[in-house]
Amino acid sequence: MAGDTLQAAVLLASPVRRRLVTALAHVDAGARPGRTAAELAGTVGLHVTTVRFHLDQLVAAGLVESGLRREGGAGRPRKVYSVAPGSLDDVDARGEVDHLRLLSGLLASILTSTLTEGVSGHAMTPTEAGHRWAVEHVSGREGSPPADTPGRWLGKLAQMVDVLQEWGYTPELRTSDGGRVAEVTLAHCPFRDLARAHPTVVCAIHRGLIAGSLAQLGEPATRVSLEPFVDDTTCVAHISTTTPFRTAAPKESP
């Protein structure tokens, strides 16, 4: 992502700015280049002054670029906007930047908490933000008991993997130590540039997301660590349960 990646992510927490970026991302390659502020205002249903205000912020963050478009005749060229090349490489620009929307919303909530609480209060940490998202969005069974067998634990892990897929990852799950320890390979990180620029923030959010999701599924006694960038696009989450598995009853002799 061009420019300050953290600033860009926070900017896209705004539904208005996401709609503008999405509108620009949907411009056909063969159409006339760029869109004017007036054209975008008609697309998103806002006053052109409001649209220009948001476009200026998107340009400053490197998500959008501006240029001039000459129409037929001798009139003055018109200022137009388009998505900056490469600025949305880590998101699905034609899917309304859904994955970045999740992360940018959490970054905005962390920033708001920090500004609201001040020095003496308790500002939300990135880990707490990820955990809170899981509490609000992951459905679990009320009072679900912790898994007491490898198979039941694996079932909880599979549901957590579904959550990671919603965030745009392509997870691969492996277990060891009799099923008690899980290794989740998170391939094709959709937040690669942002995570490289601010690993302590992004990785902490994802640790909270994983731990919070499992807690929602009845697994609060888990240990979660994240190994960032084992290669250019892949991170690895290490998860283990501290709940003892029950011992299988011995089979009766015939």
Backbone angles phi, psi at 174, to 5 degrees: -135, 150
Burial grade of 253 (CB within 10 A; 0-12, 13-18, 19 or more): exposed
Q: Cα(31)–Cα(27) distance, rounded to whole angstroms?
A: 7
Q: Cα(17)–Cα(34) distance, rounded to whole angstroms?
A: 16
Q: Cα(20)–Cα(38) distance, rounded to whole angstroms?
A: 12
Contact present, 192 and 159 (Cβ < 8 Å): no
pLDDT tens per residue, range 108-133: 666 666 656 655 566 778 888 888 88
pLDDT tens per residue, range 201-218: 888 888 999 999 999 999
Instruction: Using the structure block, give the residue that is written with the tokens 């205002």.
Output: 41
Work out the end-to-end distance of the chain between its first and last CA atoms, rounded to an integer number of angstroms.
67
User: What is the mean pLDDT of the segment spanning 10-16?
Assistant: 65
User: What is the mean pLDDT of the segment spanning 24-49?
Assistant: 80
Task: Give the distance, in angstroms, between the CA of residue 71 and the centroid of all CA atoms in the same chain.
Answer: 40
